[in-house]
Structure 1
Amino acid sequence: MNPTTPRPNANSAPPGRSRPEWDAQPFVRYVGIDEAGYGPNLGPLTMAAAIFDFAADYAHAQGWDGRSTPPPFNLWSASAGRVTRAGGPEHALWIDDSKSLYSTRRGRDRLDAALLTLLTDSAAWSQPSLVLEDQLAAVGLTDLVLNELDLWNWHVPETSTTTPAPPSALSSARSPLTNPFWKAQRNGVSPLDHPGRWQVRPPRAALLGPRRFEAWLHAPLESPREHAASFSSSHRLKRDTLPPQTKADVHCRLFMNLLTQVWNDSPADLTIAQCDLHGGRRYYLKPLTDAFGAFCRVEVIEESPDARSYRLTATDALGLASKSPRRLVISFRAKADRDDAAVALASVVAKSLREGWMDRFNAFWIAHLPTLRPTAGYPLDARRFRDQIAPLAERLGLEPAVWWRSR
């Protein structure tokens, strides 16, 4: 890997926010990663990375020096009331784990407000798009087929006895946000930014719909289309291609793909990543070594009940680190989405994108079966939904493998 040159990505989103004044000075990139949709049988597994660039002196003062387990990023105490946890002052931006921000009873207004604040250039503050495709593009997911939205924009064949909704019904934006924070005057300054200390960067995301989820379980080799989009230059990290056998393996592979992209795109000498614990996994040395060992030295910083932390140091072709090597320190903690603001924001992005995808999925089926209740996709209700749509899916030629996750 080249330790000094940023790694552009062909599918990257536009920069969005302006670069900070201290961008030419040493800084530390701080990343929170979380997922949504690991458990459901319907809908995608989404994963997101919230990204902050910290001035090096501030980062080191927080203990983010790359030598020890980094403490969580407490944006709440550092933002002087502009950002609070769920249930805080109405005119503040609520940042918390997505389950605290959103439930079917409370609606999605606060969840979407956090996502759109993260996607909005602080110098603009115009109403960002609530159209799913625009939001996906903003986090680097521009391919309709890989996002598996192509299926849910289909027209019903003329021989069908059902009447589809017009295409506009499946692609229109949601209503504008109405919560007090979003309606308040923001004076052109994002509450997520802190000039001189840090600036938020456009988030990145990965989405694995049912079709590709099943393919990764049973025939996990990448298609030519995916392979062409992978990191193929000799100096870049290669994505893991080991055949997964379980749902946990699929989750791990998607995580390593996103982590690879985030580190490849980081221009900082030190990148810090905080993550929640992965389901079914206690330690991470082996999967990190499998994914990065050919290009990095992987070391254990800590493996305790509180945290599992590792340091990855880029090496040259001879396996030697340069005088100023690029480093990645990654820490896994239980409930990280509650304790670390970057992980909480990643949770928000992943959940909001998944909910938008499920809106489109539900709209497709309800357009054909108007009495059908929408589903969130979790196991008990997913079986009810599956039984109700199965006859229609057969008539439309939609095999279960393209809409049902077996694990």
Structure 2
Amino acid sequence: MKHGCAGAISQTSLSTVQNNMGVIIGMDEAGYGPNLGPLVITATVWDIPQKPDDINLWEAFADVVDQAAPTAEKIHVADSKQVYSPSKGISQLERSVHCLLGLNGDSPRRYTELCHRLLGCDLDSEDCGPWFENCDLDLPQKIESEAIPEISARWRSCCQTHSIGLRTVVSDIVTPRRFNRLLAEYGTKGVLLSKLSMQLLSRVIDFDHPQPTLVIADKHGGRNRYDELLEEIAADRFIVRETEGRAASSYRIGTARIRFQTRAEEHLPVAAASLVCKYVRELSMELFNHYWQKQLPGVKPTKGYPVDAKRFRQEIAAAQAAAGVTDEMLWRER
């Protein structure tokens, strides 16, 4: 993938929220644990008509969004582990993500188009691996695209009623090759995740915004202290440490509060980011498995998690050598 590209996905096609009083940014990741496939980090950015601590987006979107279970009229927005599992399949996850993107009129019809919109630039096949070369997926994969505009329109109506706007959705897609390169530079994958998350946040945050911004992100493993990481994107601004602990660590920089907390997906902007991360990763693994099944017909597909990843790596070893795929391209070291 190419990175550091200017721009971001889906600058809102809704009418800009006039005189908005706040911004909420939700961040999450998917694919931190696997040895195969990408790590995906996503941020969703919402303009709101009041101070961030005073609004409940679940209540505002109650006519369209359900935390517990989907219905014909509502979509399922929650932590991706609740919306998707191999037994449930990708349908509900896909429905939720496409309806979310539809808030801004985005309707990606190909995997590469989706990645371009999230990254702000095109995929770089040299960094991605041969499973992305001249390969693509039609979207949506499992649901009827005709159903998306109607739900997105109702969700958009909720946004307009409550003067809420989805400003943008941005992601970073970290391939194994890039992951290994950065791991050698940063030393641990915990630091790698934190630094990449800060870099993604820097694309969407304005510490000098006239109205308050609240950033909510899941805690990065057992880390309780984040001020040194925030220094990298705060420039010369003063960082106020509000609290640091197991439940939450909170900081202020300018007009922004950045909070790392457990169970962050209880907040809709984080849950939405979680769904986008998982959807992109699942599509990436679909392409990955399709490639290896062409090289070695009959090989059982993998989700890339450690135990099964080792099984998969052993089974494709001869095909990997024949295809000239290096371990650096294939396998995340941690």
- For normalisation by structure 2, the TM-score amounts to 0.89
How far 1:356 sits from its partner (Å)?
A: 1.1
Give the match's secondary structure for 1:252.
Answer: helix
Aligned position for 1:376? 303
Counterpart residue type for residue 272 of structure 1: L
Q: 1:271 aligns with which of 213, 217, 226?
A: 213
How does 1:60-139 map onto structure 2 within 5 Å? 62-63=53-54, 74-121=56-103, 128-139=107-118
The reply on whether 1:203 has 2:169 as its aligned counterpart is yes
CA contact (8 A) 2:103 2:166 kept: no
Aligned position for 1:401? 328
d(CA) in 2 for partners of 1:266, 1:362: 45
The reply on whether 1:37 has 2:31 as its aligned counterpart is yes
Deviations 1:242-274 (A, max 9, x none): xx1011111111111111111159965432100
How far 1:77 sits from its partner (Å)?
A: 2.3
Aligned position for 1:46? 40
Cα–Cα, structure 1 residues 395 and 275, in superposed 2: closer, same or farther, change >3 Å? same
Counterpart residue type for residue 18 of structure 1: L
Moved over 6 A (4+): none
Give the match's secondary structure for 1:383.
Answer: helix
Cα–Cα, structure 1 residues 194 and 201, in superposed 2: closer, same or farther, change >3 Å? same
Cα–Cα, structure 1 residues 148 and 360, in superposed 2: closer, same or farther, change >3 Å? farther
Q: Tell me, which stretches of 5 or more residues in structure 2 are unaligned? A: none
How does 1:5-404 map onto structure 2 within 5 Å? 10-22=6-18, 25-55=19-49, 58-59=50-51, 62-63=53-54, 74-121=56-103, 128-145=107-124, 148-149=127-128, 151-154=130-133, 170-174=135-139, 177-178=142-143, 182=147, 185-186=150-151, 188-190=153-155, 193-218=159-184, 220=185, 244-264=186-206, 269-289=211-231, 291-292=232-233, 294-313=235-254, 327-337=255-265, 339-404=266-331
d(CA) in 1 for partners of 2:137, 2:330: 22
From the two aligned structures, give the one with the greater helix fraction.
Answer: 2
Q: Tell me, which stretches of 5 or more residues in structure 1 are unaligned? A: 1-8, 64-72, 155-166, 221-243, 314-326
Deviations 1:357-391 (A, max 9, x none): 11111111111111011111000000011101121
d(CA) in 1 for partners of 2:207, 2:95: 26
d(CA) in 2 for partners of 1:180, 1:204: 22
How far 1:194 sits from its partner (Å)?
A: 4.0
Give the match's secondary structure for 2:33.
Answer: coil
CA contact (8 A) 2:17 2:48 kept: no
How far 1:141 sits from its partner (Å)?
A: 4.2
d(CA) in 2 for partners of 1:26, 1:153: 41
CA contact (8 A) 2:12 2:166 kept: no
Deviations 1:173-196 (A, max 9, x none): 145554899469448332562434
d(CA) in 1 for partners of 2:152, 2:282: 30
Counterpart residue type for residue 90 of structure 2: R
CA contact (8 A) 2:213 2:256 kept: yes
How far 1:79 sits from its partner (Å)?
A: 2.1
- Calculate the aligned-residue CA RMSD, in Å: 2.7
d(CA) in 2 for partners of 1:384, 1:176: 27
- For normalisation by structure 1, the TM-score amounts to 0.74
